[in-house]
Amino acid sequence: MGAWLKELENSERVAKTPTQADSSRLNELLMDVWRAGGAQGSPGLARGSPDQSRFRAELGPYFWKSAVLRRCWEKPRGYAGDFLMMEALYRRKPEGQTPLELWMDSWALELPGFQAVRNRRDLLAQMLRAEHARGARKVMNVASGSAPELVAVARDVSFESVTLLDQDQGALDSALGHFTRVGAMPATRHQALRLWCGSVLELLRNRTDLPTASQDFIYSIGLFDYLTERFARRLTTKLWDGLAPGGLLVLGNFNAKNPMHLFTETALDWYLIYRDPEDLLRLVEGLPGVESAEVRTEDTGCLHLLVARKAK
């Protein structure tokens, strides 16, 4: 693979947008690495293995030419998927000072898992509009980042109250900046937009921060990928308790079906906890008043959304 990347760097092709042929060839070369380094039927490079270290030493510098991949690898805010990295995915505009940097960023921005993030935003924006039309007026986003789905609908839809919970104050500041720039707030009154800088541990410990049956729509789309089964169940129960009768709970989680996860683990040291539909449905199993629960999958197939309605 190193030879192919070196050839690309020295070719005229690197000055152009990645062709389908070059993108497919790079993906094939990556799959060859995963198959060669993994066990039968279980491709990939083991965490901390010599093969993984060699990949990072020899090939990592090529992939880290991409601004978005380099940010995932370096984790300047302490974690891979920070709000600035996510905003780069939404902008979808390659960045770089050299032809190879621009080429690699163009390739990275079109990876299926990153497209899934954009699809996730669009699906949530649709749900926000639909729930508002149903009468939902109080919304909470847990691990909100800069809340792009709310920014997308802020001109058209205004809720009575919106709570954004995130551990990164910068993400909340960015959300407020985006709302200001589009000239609209997601809540009817400025003071009804609550920017809560805190962790889900605080949410679990404090009963007053999420009163019972206080929200019409609660969602968390970038958090459960990091939660153990036990913690995910505890948090789901807490959020369900805070949901009003007739309300909607939406939880997002990546699955391991697409081989991109082998790349993010090896090249970016970015590990998630993957869940299939049955895993997500178990999170609401046995909770009181579940009227309906289904799992929807966005178009790339990489990411699931658990959608659960509480009975009135």
* Model pLDDT for residues 226-282, shown as the tens digit of each residue: 999 999 999 999 999 999 999 999 999 999 988 899 999 999 999 999 999 999 999
Residues 222 and 143 sit within 8 Å (Cβ to Cβ): yes
Q: Using alpha carbons, list the distances in angstroms from residue 167 to 29, 123, 149, 218.
A: 38, 24, 18, 17
Cα separation, 247 vs 308, in Å, equals 9
Full-model pTM? 0.96
**298's tokens:** 């966005």
- DSSP label at residue 210: S
**56's tokens:** 């990072």
Residue 247 CB neighbour total at 10 angstroms: 25
Q: What CATH code would you report for 114-258+271-310?
A: 3.40.50.150
Helix (H) or strand (E) holding 276: none
* Model pLDDT for residues 143-183, shown as the tens digit of each residue: 999 999 999 999 999 999 999 999 999 999 999 999 999 99
Answer whether residue 208 shows pLDDT above 90. Answer: no
The type of residue at 159 is: F
Residue 177 CB neighbour total at 10 angstroms: 12
Contacting residues for 240 by C-beta, under 8 A, at least 6 apart? 249, 284, 287, 308, 310
pLDDT at 40: 63
Locate CATH 3.40.50.150 in the chain: 114-258+271-310
Q: What is the mean pLDDT of residues 22-42?
A: 88
Answer whether residue 190 shows pLDDT above 90. Answer: no
Query: Does the CA dihedral 124-126-129-133 come out positive or negative?
Result: negative
* Model pLDDT for residues 280-298, shown as the tens digit of each residue: 999 999 999 999 999 999 9
Q: What is the mean pLDDT of the chain?
A: 96
